[in-house]
Structure 1
Amino acid sequence: MGLRLFSIRCDVTEITPRLAEVEADVQGLVEAHMETMLGVRFLASEYSTGPVHGGRIDSLGLDENGSPVIVEYKRATDAGVIHQGLFYLAWLMDHRSEFQHLVRDRIGAEAAGRVLWSNPRVVCVAGDFTRYDVHAVREHRRSIDLVRYRLYGDDHIALETVASVAGHAGVPRRRRGAGAVAASPRRAAGGAMADLSAAVGEVLLGLGGDVAAVRRKQYTAYRRLRNFVCVPPARQDKLLAYVKVHPGAVDLVPGFTRDVTGLGHHGTGDLEVQLRSERDLERAGELFRLAYAGA
């Protein structure tokens, strides 16, 4: 049985899901709240690709990691939405300077200088997708997210990630048994942290088939539709993970978890988790799962 939503304000009444009357209604709603819904900063709507290319990109944005994002919308099911998004992505990769000028005008020069061209994304928002769509995105070598929407009454929209493919920027999984290699007397502390970092990546990627890993110089972001954990390079004695769980929702443990709201750090997430051993990684597992569920 699929999700059923009921109002319990007066009598118990089922709120039936519905599609938008026209595609533009979905587009307008998502564009007005794009950062909250998709983790993407909105840049432009109906962006013209010029007379030669002859098209308009529904929405352009920049995600939390600096990746360019093309968002295409369909009211219901449309077999062409993925190909349309990839068509516009090819144009975007050939017009990088134009996109960076757009970012500079809308967000600023610093953001324009940090655009991550190794991992551009296409997000398709539609009423539904077929199994052929899901198969198709897994055959491509680009980052593609398929997001199903449903409207409930006049005040609620549900977004469900149907498929998410990481594209080129994925971080390889650790070799099986890599963490079981005994350290030699000459092994540096940094090597132990490298093993711990690999173990953290394996745990985060193992939370679900829709987890993508995006590597930046300052951190590696693990995301579904949006980031849920960011891991900077390991220090000599510990590994830090910034987790998207509200610090007020958990019991903070000195030396293990810390509220870094408003404090500068690389990546996203207001809960800092300090990892020094595999045991700490086990302790962090529930926090990682909470962040994954909320992403």
Structure 2
Amino acid sequence: MSSLRLFRTDATGSGMTEVVPRLAEVEADVQGLVEAHMEALLGVRFLASEYGTGQLHGGRIDSLGLDENGSPVIVECKRATDVGVINQGLFYLTWLMDHRAEFERLVRERLGVKAASQVLWSGPRLICIAGDFTRYDVHAVREHRRSIDLVRYRLFGSDLLGLETVASVSAGSQVARRARRQPTPRAAADIVGTSMVELARAVDETLLGLGDGVNVVERKQYRAYQRLRNFACLCPPQRSKLLVYLKVDPKDVDLVPGFTRDVAGLGHHGAGDLEVQLRTPRDVERAHELFRASYAAA
């Protein structure tokens, strides 16, 4: 955390002690911590550790996983700054794209047939977690047409972990944004109504405008808005409303019938336990703070 300072108050509240950030003793400590809590930290289901890529390729992928949208994920961990981490990860991404059947077999063994049948190959991801990155690393990821996240970590005391996204680029975002600039086909507008299509565009602009590093993942059933993890899933427009699912705890929200609904434990497309129903531009304005809360939590 380049500028974050953390303080602990004493039992009486009259004094404060700074908790000095530190790096892990060894690289394996970072990897083990991330793998043990991968879904909570990254929104990625853990599949395998130190995965061998065969004699010809001659490598070992730190961690393999599957994210909330079904995209394959490679996680590479380094204790401090490592100038080779991005190239190493891209090397493994190339291997992954050439071994799709092997990866799907691994998903089927660990997560089941349904998860394996829904693997999304349009945007495999590389997440690099390290003590720090150089400005050249940040520039490099923006030049690649791959989905890459650079994440800086720090340990605080004996029980706190901090993660900071330094750079995030999505292979699908440029395509998605170009698609949004194109006029909506008349047939589609006739089916759902022009007002709903325009409302969907307004929601899209609002979610993308929440901050830097918002990536878009297109699935048939929804459009996911993602930092490290999904923070919003927008379903295709219905005739009279839009449904957005957010990573906000419904227990922390004063639910309003017809506007917000607790869907924890209920089946729906996309991720998130809070359903927001949007019918008018005014509803989008009402939902803005909920959008922000979900973005902050991701």
Shorter chain as denominator, the TM-score bin is: over 0.9
Say whether 1:172 aligns with 2:177: yes
Q: Measure the CA separation in 2 of the matches of 1:274 and 1:284.
A: 9
Distance in 2, matches of 1:109 and 1:188, equals 34
TM-score, length basis structure 2: 0.93
Whether 2:267 is the aligned partner of 1:264: answer yes
**2:253 is the counterpart of 1:250:** yes
> Match for 1:3: what amino acid?
L
Structure 2: gaps (5+ residues):
none
- Describe how 1:24-35 pairs up with structure 2 within 5 A: 24-35=28-39
Cα distance between partner residues in 2 of 1:155 and 1:175: 46
- What stretches of structure 1 move > 4 A for 4+ residues in a row? 173-176, 186-189
Unaligned runs of at least 5 residues, structure 1: 180-185
Shift of residue 191 of structure 1? 2.2
CA distance in 2, matches of 1:38, 1:172: 24
Find 2:155's aligned residue among 151, 158, 161.
Answer: 151
More displaced 10-residue stretch of structure 1: 159-168 or 54-63: 159-168
Counting only pairs closer than 5 Å after superposition, residues 19-98 of structure 1 correspond to structure 2 as 19-98=23-102
Hey, what's the Cα distance between the residues in 2 that align with 1:168 and 1:189? 25
* Corresponding residue for residue 233 of structure 1: 236
* Residue 2 (structure 1) aligns with: 3
- The whole-number CA distance in structure 2 between the counterparts of 1:265 and 1:189 is 20
Identity of aligned residues (%): 70
Aligned residues: 289
Query: Structure 1 stretch 113-122 or stretch 6-15: which is displaced more?
Result: 6-15
Q: Distance in 2 between matches of 1:192 and 1:138?
A: 36
Q: Does the Cα contact within 8 Å between 2:150 and 2:165 map onto a contact in 1? A: yes
Letter in 2 for 1:96: R
CA-atom RMSD, angstroms? Answer: 1.9
Q: CA deviation at 1:190?
A: 2.3
- Tell me which residue corresponds to 1:210: 213
1:131 is aligned to 2:135: yes
8 Å CA contact 1:245–1:269 kept in 2: the answer is yes
What's the TM-score once normalised by structure 1's chain length?
Answer: 0.94
Question: Residues 169 and 215 of structure 1 are in contact (CA less than 8 Å); yes or no, is this contact kept in structure 2?
Answer: no
| Alignment counterpart, residue 285 of structure 2, candidates 250, 259, 282 | 282
Residue 147 of structure 1, CA deviation: 0.5
